[in-house]
Each structure stands twice: as C-alpha cells, then as structure tokens.
Structure 1
Amino acid sequence: MVNSKQAASIPLPNPKLWNGPTIGFLQTQDTFASGGWWHDARILGATGEGIEKEEPRAWKGWWNERIVELIQLSMEQKDALTVLLTGRAEPAFAELINRMVTAKGLEFDLMSLKPVSGPNNERFSSTMNFKQAFLESLTETYKNADEIRVYEDRPRHVKAFRDYFTLYNTRLQNNMGNPHNRSPILAEVIQVADGTTQLDPIVETAEVQRLINDHNTHVTKARRGTRLQIKKTVFYTGYLISNADTQKLLTLAQLPPNMPDTEMKFLANNVLITPRPCPESILEKVGGMGSKTTWEVTGTAVYESKIWAASVRPVPETKKYYTENPTPIVVLALRKGARPIDAGKIQNWQPVSPEKQFVFESTVGEKVLLRIEEENPTENEYESLFPNKTFKRKHEDENETRQSSGSHGNGGHGGGRNNNNQKENHGGRGNGRGNRGNRGNNNGRGGRGNGGRGRGGRGGGGGHHGYRSLDDVGEKNNAGTTPSYNAAVAYEDFPPLQKNYQTPQQLVQAQFQQYHQYQQSMQGKAAKGSGSGELQYN
C-alpha cells in the first residue's frame, strides 16, 4: 500500500517564497473558503508545467521511480492487493489523481481518497484517523491476508502506523473486538525518503492568488468573514548579485579547514543599500529598481572569526552609488549567530591579489518574502511592507528626517534615531565614514505573527515550519518558516529565470498593480501596468 505522495513528488508551499506564518496559514483547512493548499485541486494540477503539458509526458521527472518500480512489481504479483491511499478529498481530487496514475501506466486494485463521510456517516477528525479506519476495514475484509507493507515518508505518520498495527494485533491476540476471527497480521511500515519539491514561484504565487480571489468573492457574497491579501516584507534593498558571480565571490572566503558547513551560512548575494524598503530619494540616487552597477573587489577581511566579507568599489570609480555601510561590502559568509550588519564594523581590509580582483555586475533590487494578511483598505503601499506596525511607523519617521547631499560615494551614519542623516561623498573609496549611530532593528521580516492565523503581527508563533505532506488534510499545523512580482526582486537560492512572463498570471499582475505603478513612478516611466518583468533569484 502506498501513499500518493510517495509515488509522486507533490509540491509543498515554498518556504523561500512565503513567510513562516503564511506557510502554516496556507495548509490549514479552515483559512480559505475553498479549504487551502491541500484541498484545492488546482495546486496539484499546477505541478511541473501544468496538466496540459505534463499529462502527455506522464509527469516525467515528478515521480519517485523506486516506488513506481515497487508498484509495478506488486501489479505483477497475482496474490498481492495494490492500494493507493491518500488523504486528498475524494470529490475534488479523484479525477486528477486518476489521470496522473493512468498517464504513468500504474494500476491499483484500490484507490482510496478521503470521503466527506465514512460508510456509517462518520466524520474523520484527521487524515490519520481516516487512514486507520480504512486499514482496519481493509484487513478485516481480506481476513486471510497475512502480510501488509505500508510506504510512508513522514516520520510522524510512520510511527502512528506502527503504533496502530501493534495495538491492532494485540487486540486480535486478546480476542477483543475480533468478530471475523482474524489472525494477527505481519505489518511492515517502510519510511520513504522525503522527495519534497516546489512549484515554479510565479505559478505558485498565481495559484495562491486564485485561492485568495475565490475566498474574497465568497466573503463578499456571504457578507461575513475576512478578506485576504498577499503582501510583501522587504528584508533589504541592495545591489543584487547573480548566482554565477556569487559562486566566484565565495572562493574569497578563507574558512578554517575544520569548519563544518552546518555552522555556516553562505551569502555573497548583494552589496547592501539599506536594510529596509528603500525611500524614493535614495532609489533616485542609485538609478532606480533594475539599474546596473559594476563592482571590483578590493580587499577581504574576517570579523571576530564570525563574518567573512569583501570590500568592493564601483567601476568606474566615479560611478554614483549608495550604501549604509561605511564602505561598499559583500558579506561572503556568516557563522551561526553572526549578524550581517556587523560587517560594517570591519576597519582593516587585506588587499587581494590581482587574480582575485573580481569584477562583477549587480542589479538594484529587493530581498523580499510574501505573506498573507487581512486586507486593510486604510493601509498605504509603504505601510503594507511591514508586518509590525510599530516598526513600520518608526522607519517612516527615519525616512522623513534623512537627508543626502553630494554625488558619489557611500553614506555615513550620524547620531541617534531621528538624526540619522545620510551624507554622500566623492571618489567612491570611502571618505567621510562617519559614526554608525543607531540603525534600528530590522524587524520587518514577516515571521512574527501567530502561526495559525498568518497575520504576521505582533503576537507569538513563528519558528521553523513542520514538514507537511499532501495527505495532512485538516490536521493542525505548526507554523513554519518563511519576494514581489517586480523586475528586481530576489528569491534566495533560486536559479535565474531566463525569460519574461508576459501576463500569463493576470491575477498576480492585478494584485500587484499598485506596486508596479509605485516602482515605475520611481523609475520615471510614464507607462503603467506593462505586465512584463524578469524575476531574479539569488
């Protein structure tokens, strides 16, 4: 007996696309009118390049081929019953799952999806409750079967299945509740390696937007409930570096030979502009979102054996730039517990040899995460960038009081929270370093809300998201860990997409239309809502 997720690599919500509370919010059954991630067949249908393209090629590359081989062997065995068991809802998923297994040429004696109610009109409190009820019915129907193998990938469900069969056999041995005079059954529960995959980020965002649109339509018609909206949280604005150049820059980090990779976080993906959404006045200085700047590595340094960094300068040196660090810096790697912001404390840089004076190009953009929150008609575009309203207001005050002068170079920090005036210098080498002052906490990360509601607000919650499979239907979820539809947005750890998306996802475009207009106004464009843009993944 196999679970449908063990046979096929079914996508999960992408933790590098959504913030932590939203990961949990998406997977909870009662958050959307349509039921959410595991209850809407469109999410499963979007696997790969979508059902129209994937069905003719039998979803090639999306199967666990080892499990497929085991299914095929079971199909050939005349005395074996081959069963597919899934917690996906029968009304919504029966047709799609049947098309998927048929395209692959798999034949099951039984395909069991979670029904609305059981044979006796009973309701199932969880997926495991449903599966255990099914297994009991199965083993008592085939009372002469002496062996059962169950393939499962989630450790929690592996344990639950093993515990179930232990108790079931104990009950049979004690002649408790055994009307069919069934003998104990040899049960083996095999844990399958997790083959978690993700949808294309653009497709995933569009499908979630469709969920929200359907939910909001239902709320409007019913005149009750909460309207929802996708918002973004900006971690920083910077000169974003391509994956290829990131790999090259990482060779400059001379780590101790005995340093385990698990102790390190490797970055080398940006030259910081500001650790928050960038005000329009600063964006104008750097040429706007999507503008290009070329840099040359001038030195390297290690800070307290915790931060490895490289100093850079623009090419040509007269090129106008802006950074809130004392000098333009690429943070290469961090040890656990270190903060990228502390790289600004480095004062002594070691020159690099000519062969390591790498030259690379960057693109002005933002590192962002998406979150789902209540729709707030009174919230403006800038306010929506911050889940924490107190933090949001504080930085609005900072941006209102900050001033700049000059044309080339970096900005220094002066004084306290509301006297933090940026001063630019000339020459690009770092004159006028200034005092660091108080920068404020970068709390606008979106992971601060109650995990169950996905609000991203002030309450508790957050933490790393628990593993969820497609069969976790209607079960409580631990909130998990963790970009916008924009020409210069970084989704960390993704490869670059080498094409433009010409409005295939109109729902996403409509959702972010205001943001497009906001960005275009900063770039001095007259046209609005062009509907195209290239996403950068760093």
Structure 2
Amino acid sequence: MPNNVSCSNHLVDELGYHSQTSIASTTYDHTGIHKGLDSSPFLSPSPSLSPPPSPTVPSLSETPSRSPSLTPESEQQLREELQDQQKQPQQEQPFTLLTHPAIVYASDQLSDSNYTSRFHTVKVFDFDQTLFQSPLPNPALWDPSFIGILTSWNYCASGWWQNPATLELGPAAEASCWKDWWNEDIVAKVRESSADPGCLTVLLTGRNGPSFGLKLVEMSRRKKLDFDIIATKPTTVARLESKIPFKPTLKAPKPLEQYLKVGQEWLDMKMLDHFDVTVVQERMVYLEPQREIDLVFAMVEANNKQVDIEAAGGPYLVTGLGPLPRTRPELKDRHMWDPYEVYIPHPRLRIEVTKIVRYTGVMFSEAVQKILRDNLGSLDQLDSASQWIERPDGLRGQDLSKWVVPDDFHVTLCLGPAPEDYLTALGGLGSTVLIEVVSVGQHEGRIWALQIKEFETASGQDLQDLQIVAPNGQIYTSLDDLRAAYKSKISSPSTSSVSTSNKYMSVDLGHQGHIILKRDKTPHITMAYDRLNGTRAVDSGDIKEWEVLKTPAGELFQKRLVFVGTIAEKILLGMKSRKKSGQQLSAAAKGEVSVANIIKSLMGDKDISGRQLGEMIRNVKEEMERLSVENMTANEERIATIAQEVCDRVESRKASSSVASSRQSSPTPP
C-alpha cells in the first residue's frame, strides 16, 4: 500500500502477516454502501507515470477468466504484445492514487468524497497463503535449494508466484468457486470489513498485475468479496547487480518488518492511533504431483529458451513487461516508492533438472505414515486411544494445530547417498529394519520428536507386550505373527533406490538392516514443528532431553511400540550444479566460497553483530553439510540459496519479537 495515502486524524492500521506473504488491515471512518465488483472496470494505470499501458476491459460479468499457463510460446507472445504496446502513443492523465500501477481495481465510489470522508479503518488482506490457500512447490518433490530458485522472481522463467498456471487449479475447482481453497476464517473477516461502512477494504498481493489482475478480480467477484481496492505488485524492471554469480534475491526487508516500520512511522506522525498485526499460518496445499512436475518442467523449458534468445543477442525478458528500462522521478517527488528503477541486464542461466539424494534413512510405507500423521494424539488401531503415547510434557495443553507435520516421517541416518562401506553396514538399500520408540522430546517449545532405537530380534530379548506396526498398517503382537503374515524370503537387499509407487511395503526379516549413526547423534522421528517462528524439521537435532513414554492419561506407556521400515534414499528433483560459462568467476573462485560475504550481501545494510554473523555462518555450514553441498565455487548458487533461507529465518524471528513488543507498547484504542 503506498505510504502517502491521505488519512483522517484517527487511522488504525491492522496488519496481518503470513510467513510467505502477508495480510494487512488499517483504519478510517465512513458510512455508505459498497458498490459491487461487477460494476467497476479494471483500472488503467496513468501513462503520465510511464507504466506500461493496460487496456480497459468490460465488466467482469462479461469477461471470462484469462490466466494462461506459462510456456515458451506464451512468453514469446506476451513479449510481442508488450513491445507493440510500447510503440503506441500514450495520453496524459492526472496523477491520483488510483492511477498508481499497483492498483488493478478500485470501486468508483472512491471518487465520492462523501463515501471516503467517513473512513476510519483500512484493512488490507493478503491473498496468497492467507485469504487463498495457494499451492506451494511440494517439498516432497523438490530439493529445498531448487524450491528457492523456483520461487525467486524472474529466475526460473517467471518464477512460481508470477506464473499464472499456479492459480489454474482445474475445471472442477473453478466450477465450485475454488471450494476448499479459500481460508474461510479470513473470508469471514473480509466480509465483516466490507459490511462495515467505516472500513476501506483492500486486497493486496505480490503477484504482478498484467498476469493476475483479471484473475484476482474475477475470483473476488465469484466469491462475493467486496473489496474497495485490489492492488498487485508493480512489475519491476530492475535487477539488482550482485557481486556473486547467483543470488536468489537481494531482498528488501521482509513484509512484516516493512509494515511494522511504516506503522511505527505513522504512529510517530500521529497518522495512526494504533496498529495491530495478525499472523496467519495455514496448512500447506500442493498441486497434484504429476501436474506440478509438468508445470515446473514447462518453467524450466521457458527459462532455457530465453537463455538461448539472450545468447543470440535477443532482448532480456522481465516477467510481465519485457525489457523496459525507465525511472519514475514523479513518484519520488511525491515521496512514493518507485517500482521502476534503472534496468541492469542480468543474463539468465540454463537450468538442468536432475535427481538429488537428500538423505539416506529409514523410510515407512504410506499406511505407517498415515498412522503417525492421523493419530498424533490418539491411535485407535493400537487397541485403544489410551495406548497411544502423548506429546512431551512441555507441549501438553498447547494448541499445535498450526504446526507443520512433516510430509514424510523418517529416521535420517546420513545426508546424501551413503558411502558404500557405510551402506553395507546399514544392511543395504531395501533391507528391512525394525525400530522401537523409546522416548519423546521437545526443544524450546518449538519442535518435538520420537526417540527411537533398533529393535533387537535376537533370542533372549524381552518380546512381551509387543505392538508391531507393519507396512500394511496391521498390528502384530509377536515376531512370529509378523513372519507368518509376510512369509519372509531370504534374499539379498536391493542395491538401487526404492522408487515405486508401492514404497516400502516388503518385509524381509532374513536380511535386516541396522540403525548406525556416523556421529554422536540421537536417532529420532520428527513429529511436528512451529514453522511460523522460523523452526525447521532439522532443528529436532537440537533436542537433548528426552522423557519416558506416557499415555494421554499420564500413565507410563506399557507396550513396546515397534514400526517396520526400510533402508532407502530420499530422492528429490533439483538443479544440477554448474558454473557460468564465459563469465568471470567471483572473488572466491580461487578458493572456498565466503559464506560470510554472501550473508552480508543478503542482509544489506542491516546491523548484525559479530556474534549473530558467526551464528548465521554456522547455521549455513550445518545446512550445507546436511545437504551434502561442498564449499566450492561450483556450488555457489546453492550456498547462496541456503544462506537466504538462514537470513529469512533470522528476519522472521526478529519480526515475531517486534510483533510481541508492538502489542505490549501500543496503547489500547478507546
């Protein structure tokens, strides 16, 4: 939202935020009736401000959805259309807020002073992962560093968030008005805001207007969401020059941090009585796997085609606009953010997708995964709910409904592919391993896990009170019953990765695997974590204190709980590392990549202490080791992506602290 909007004396800013993007709300005073979205056309931005011209379109009730998938052909067509538009003469229009290039829709009642003079509240709602549960790249398919590349603007073709296909959810979804994709709690808040004559209701998104404006207005109309303004990300033609060959983004402050800063400035200027921040974290939603794979490969193809165009001397492509270097001094004169800056050519790089072994560990069948996922608090399959183990004492009674539950429960044995001698000691890929849950633990109230150990089947062991969860989801009370059910075959374990759709279903007690950790680590299964506060699944390695198993009633867990798993590799799709051909390597080319310099560059002018920098360097190196990313120039891209993730976590934690401080320091409005 532009930060020079004229406000009444009493303006309350309520900001909502999600870890991906954000929702926001602010406050004025009006009475009147909102005019529906059907009655107002798409706004054309002001040519006097030099944005690209946007054609005025008819009422949305007469306009079908237009949101084509990104393909090499559509990229080329878009480029040609935009070049033609640039040649057309532009007419001078007076500057107003509503001619700002970020605004793609505004109610015509906003030109009525009687309508706007009564505003006392502005509520700004974010779209992605807040109002609408937009699909994300699926971490079960892609390597984390590649997800960073996919979601970076204008790197892999348009980038995930600027690709119209990410909102093409199929005919059934559109016919049902995207049922189950909306966050109905936020939908209710939007309708409450729209019904309040004192509220200006705004929809805000980081998606660009040329690609998504029509789609967003149509979706809002069909859901009967009555916004006064719909604002998008102005398509920026600038790329910040970097000192390293690749940087996912040289990010401005995180959205929540920006809102807090502006909100505090407005408080200081007496433009606000107070502002509030609402944090929203919803479950992650993904596309159908094959559809997502096809989409990403189309993005890669479009990117590589553009690489060839640029290599042949063709124009650089900026998603949504094409190459349009320009500046906007008239915005700066009005103390407004200038979304258009000097264009710095930054060639794209060819992307080659390859299989990446993320880790080697104990994997479980879908049936076992479902038992763990659906029954974190109780497990009817194990005799009765009272027989299931309870979460750690420090987390009992807490609402963990917004915590992230891993998509793939497993026991990590080593990062990347296991060396041959180590793999032999484990028993080989495909070998059956029995693991026993022995305790539970948590760390700082942010993550919890099950501690496990290898279940010994040798004679003389106490095999009483067993509950063995087999790959088919059945429960057996003895090894003999398990053997009889699976009719164990004596054979050598497979030497290749298990990759069929019917994963980890075989049981071969004649060739059992083993739990062997290369370092002094505790084998465990991460159960859930608080991602909103910057926690990741890998942080379960920080759990040091473990508690005995208890039932929900607080009694000691009497059964020996055993799961049957398989030694296997977790294989994801990612980007093959490569150097830039024909370009000078960075200053670190003669030696190792400087992690410190990358972090400093990503953090920009933010003040970080030596201690903070050291901690961030340590975190980056730990993640590099976990992902088997060597500190060498050829891996500089992946190192930069890892560093960006670490920087984001630091900023997220700072923002959360700022929110808490803001809530405590802001006076309660009368």
TM-score, length basis structure 2? 0.40
- Give TM-score scaled by structure 1 length: 0.48
